[in-house]
Amino acid sequence: MPFKELLPSSIVEQALDELKIKYYQRLFDPIVTLWAFLPQVLDTDKSCHNTVSKVIAYLAGLKVEIPSLRDASRTTDTSAYCQARLRLPETLLEKLFRETGGKLEQKVTTEYLWCGRKVKVIDGSTVSMPDTIDNQKTYPQSPTQKAGCGFPIAKLGVIFSLTTGAAIAICIDVLNTHDIKLARNLYQFLNPLDILLGDRAFCAYADLAAIKKLDCDAVFRKHQARTTSMRKGKILGACDKLVTWCKPKICPKGLIQDEFDTLPSTITVREIYYYIVIPGFRTERVSLITTLLDAKTYSTLEIVGLYGQRWDVELDLRHLKTTLGMDILRCKTPSMVRKEIYVYLLAYNLLRGLMWSAGTTYRTPPLRLSLQGTRHHFNNFIPELLAAASTKRQRIYRTLLKVIAHKPVSVDALSGLSSDIAPEEVKHGFVNAA
């Protein structure tokens, strides 16, 4: 498959060695099982029968005898593949998913950075799964539903790259977990000088302090529980000021007392506000909180424009859940559910890698390309890529990139009904979003 830039077989073998995973030489070893699992989540028919059929067809083309075919009654038996998926360690799939996101980040050049820095965006979502006893025990259904009337649901916290759209890290927990708790498990995956972008759910004193401690910065929407006073703070502009936040008097829920004790007594943050004016609707005031205090390097308009791109995380989650079909998982045990999520994220990152290669090769913004179209082209090109010799395969691969980059998606189609704000639309604290 055309993923050699992000996930060559050598990377898989290296990960197996690093994790000290031992396995027998059999038809469905970890590498073959992984390469079968990936097309399974990318296909519209996600059944194991369909996946095993593809493996059989490929091996038949290579004139390789399959042991199970000696018995005609076991020709379409999926037990060997299902058992192989059970043997795949979660740690291996999680490691490969994070490595692909990281390798794609390494391809980002200076021209794609925001004010010379990389931006990550964070958000939470949910996925459902089959109603089995084990799944219900580990990921209980919503408490508002009667027993037997709902499905187990897992809560996800995900960090995406704003530049490439790739998933960088994920945290999986039960439904009633607050987004901010998931986020605190994800900060460890930030790199120094990263900027984290998020909505008001993540705008807490402890989190801003933790992000600054990692030598990173944050841009969050101000939490609705905090009041806005224009009389306090150092004025930087017409709608821009520096304010000092004081440490809470009591330890907030979800924070360990030892962590609370180490927080600084005060932090200085920057507050930017503007208005969204849409004819026929009530004017909405938006306040942003950021640790980017240098107004010369990070202007008001730049920060407001950056927050407008926060909507991209909604599109990324929609691609994962709706385009690829991760919203309803198929596995019947908690361990397999987590593996399925990691493989979805791995497949999603590999598609983003194709989009990045296509966009940068043919000078089209990678985020303007269609992920659904990329998946369609990928699935249609796979038989030709597998059947071609190495020289011909390179030509087919270049053709694949060309057709992926052929028809960019319009900005309106990408943004939908979002309230994205372009920097040039902000004047004197007012935004006309009509």
Residue 275 has pLDDT above 80, yes or no: yes
Alpha-carbon gap, residue 415 to 32, rounded angstroms: 38
> Over the stretch 18-59, which tens digit does the pLDDT of each residue have?
988 888 878 888 888 998 999 899 999 999 999 998 888 888
**CA-CA distances (angstroms) from residue 179 to 19, 124, 154, 170, 209?**
30, 6, 12, 12, 17
Q: Kind of pairing, strands 167-174 and 153-161?
A: antiparallel
DSSP 303-314: HHHHHHGGGHHH
> Using an 8 Å Cβ cutoff, are 409 and 165 in contact?
no
Alpha-carbon gap, residue 290 to 270, rounded angstroms: 5
Residue 106 has pLDDT above 70, yes or no: yes
| pLDDT class of 174 with cuts at 50, 70, 90 | very high
Alpha-carbon gap, residue 131 to 328, rounded angstroms: 11
Mean of the pLDDT values across residues 352-368? 94
Higher-pLDDT residue of 100 and 64 is: 100
CB burial of 210-238 (b: ≥16 within 10 Å; e: otherwise) equals: bbbeeebbbbbbbeeeeeeeeeebeebee
> Over the stretch 233-256, which tens digit does the pLDDT of each residue have?
788 888 889 999 999 999 988 889
Which is nearest to 107 in space by CA: 358, 304, 332, 417? 358
> Over the stretch 183-222, which tens digit does the pLDDT of each residue have?
999 999 999 999 999 999 999 999 999 999 999 999 999 9
Domains of the chain as residue ranges with CATH = 22-88 (no CATH), 90-220+302-434 (3.30.420.10)
Q: How many CB atoms lie within 10 A of CB 20?
A: 6
Q: How many CB atoms lie within 10 A of CB 343?
A: 22
Residue 96 has pLDDT above 70, yes or no: yes
Beta bridge partners of 409: none
Which is nearest to 337 in space by CA: 144, 93, 33? 93
The reported pLDDT for the residue numbered 181 is 93
Alpha-carbon gap, residue 398 to 392, rounded angstroms: 10
Which is nearest to 93 in space by CA: 305, 284, 349, 274? 349
**Predicted TM-score (pTM) of this structure:** 0.90
Alpha-carbon gap, residue 335 to 135, rounded angstroms: 9
The reported pLDDT for the residue numbered 411 is 62
**CA-CA distances (angstroms) from residue 348 to 11, 38, 42, 228, 338?**
18, 10, 9, 40, 15
The reported pLDDT for the residue numbered 277 is 87
